[in-house]
A and B are shown apart, each in its own frame.
Chain A
Amino acid sequence: MKSRNRYVYISVIVAISIIVVWYVSTECLTVSELIFPSPKSVILAFDEVLKSGYKGYSLWQHVLDSLKRIFEAFFLAAVIFVTLGLICGCNPKLRAAMEPVITFIRPLPPLAYYSVIVLWMGIGDESKVTLLFIAAAPPIYVSCVEGITKINADYINAAKTLGASKRQIFFKVILWAALPDIFIGLRNSLAGAYGTLVAAEMVAAMSGIGWMALDASKYLRSDVIFVAIIVMGITGLLLDEILKTIDNKIIYWKGKE
């Protein structure tokens, strides 16, 4: 924690240098604005999108629509797969049953099955949320199972020698001991869903920050694409920071034993 704060200036310097290099290279080299927009044109585009929105929706509306889809999918995945992961973590037979499904889905690129989902669910928001859901689920499940299966046997034995029932062991020991891993799973899940956002908004969307980037490319508006990318990047960063902060608050004992 401390060393991270101490060297934060390095991160800041690198971030600023990237922007400077970007600025200088677009100024000195004669690259077409279409291919590589300068910081200035990106700022102008940002200003334009902020003021008049993009294709009928304000920038915030686009971001909000995307976040809504992500959170819907993330929430569903969290509720269902934390439960499932915890149950399967405690039960090797169920775990074996889930294994092929999860290991098959996990590495699949979302675009591979997106067309099938659209075929089944239509082009509305449901198919988008479903796609994000499928991307969000495996990390949660995998982390929950891992969190439970790697619990120090002494923790459970100690509880048993103190007279705890199975139920009490689950709620007072196993669940807590697995909590750090559950949180890692949730963070990875949100990152996974976020990474699938653009793919999810490819088909028949009218709004969303991912869609904005795709749509802008149709009109060769690289500056708008850059705006969308930067907004996406910062939003993603903030989301992860929020989860990380909650994580540190709730799991104050993490890594301190």
Chain B
Amino acid sequence: MSNIEEVYEAEGELISVKDLSFQYESFKRNVSNDYIFENLNFNIYRGEFICVMGESGCGKSTLLNILAGFEKPTSGSILLDDVEIKGIDKNRGVVFQKPSLYGWYSVKKNVAFGPTVLKWPKDKIEEQVDYYLKRVGLENEGDKKVFELSGGMKQRVAIARALINDPEILLMDEPFGALDALTRESMQKLLREIWYTSGKTIFFITHDVDEALQLATRVIVLGKNPGRIVSDISLPFSRTIIEEDSNKRIYTEEYFEYREKMLDLISIRNNKPLEMSI
């Protein structure tokens, strides 16, 4: 397993997951194998772009929901800046797989939702909404209704809505999973730029190996039964793409090596040894 210290430009831990065990309540009557996670430990460092991969049903969404506060750990704790997380709060922004925008509000009002409920001054709200709409490339769609937007545009609004509150971390559960390949690629580019320029920490679930390779500074591969970290890899490609200012995919030999490794890791079965090193 690659060492945590190796992780790219780790800047001190933001979130630390300590001895996390989790089971869904409805499963409690079952005798065995009902834990989604058992004694999970890992840290998330400031400024990381973490992609989480793993086969379907291994608990990726569950982990995100616990980090967001939608689910409570059965035991163990999660600390954000050394303070234990209790429930949902505005420190952790979430972008859902389905955009879940409010259809009864305009695009602008959706983005303004956080600042409005937090009672920011009106002119500041307006200014920030404009800024974030511009940021996601929707400066001209602010007055549209949500149903007038395409899937990719909706997800952009959802990202702007989550970013405007300036959360410590952005949690994203397969946000581009439902988009077509072209839209997906432009969304990846957008997100990479936002991550790079804002320095936000991003926790991003994906099924797509290429997506992970091109976005992540670190990939966590989860295994099943019980959910555990099978591998923890740091990746260089996301930064390279930005810093070399080439949006061309970098299909180098190195890239394909990583790709092969990751594909192997994801399809790991329960009986394989836990310490798969890469």
Contact = CB atoms under 8 A, between A and B. Distances in A.
Interface of A: 152, 154-155, 157-165, 168, 172-173, 176-177, 179, 251-253, 256-257
B90 A161 contact: yes
A182 to B, nearest CB: 13
B162 A253 contact: no
Contacts of B96: 154, 157-158
B185 interface: no
B147 A161 contact: no
A173 B161 CA distance: 15
B103 A157 contact: no
Given A163-B89, A172-B113, A157 B161 contact: no
B102 A161 contact: no
A155 B118 contact: no
B94 A158 contact: yes
A256 B93 CA distance: 25
Nearest to B117: A164
A162 B102 contact: no
A163 B114 contact: yes
Interface in B60-117: 68-70, 88-90, 92-94, 96, 98, 100, 102-104, 113-114, 117
Given A176-B104, A253-B146, A256-B147, A159 B117 contact: yes
B43 interface: no
Contacts of A179: 104
7 contacts: A157-B94, A160-B69, A161-B90, A162-B162, A163-B114, A168-B117, A256-B103
A162 to B, nearest CB: 4
B91 to A, nearest CB: 9
Nearest to A158: B100
B183 interface: no
B61 to A, nearest CB: 12
Contacts of B165: 162-163
Contacts of B113: 159, 162, 164, 172
A154 B104 contact: no
A253 B103 contact: yes
A161 B146 contact: no
Contact of A253 (B70, B98, B100, B147): B147
B174 to A, nearest CB: 13
B117 A172 contact: yes
Contacts of B200: none
A176 B96 CA distance: 20
The 9 residue pairs across chains A and B that have the minimum distance between CB atoms: A253-B103, A256-B147, A163-B90, A162-B114, A154-B100, A160-B88, A164-B117, A176-B104, A168-B117
Contacts of A163: 89-90, 114, 117-118, 165
A161 B93 contact: yes
B162 A161 contact: yes
Contact of A152 (B94, B100, B118): B100
Contacts of A159: 113, 117
Given A179-B104, A253-B145, A253-B147, A165 B94 contact: no
A155 B105 CA distance: 13
Interface in B166-197: 167
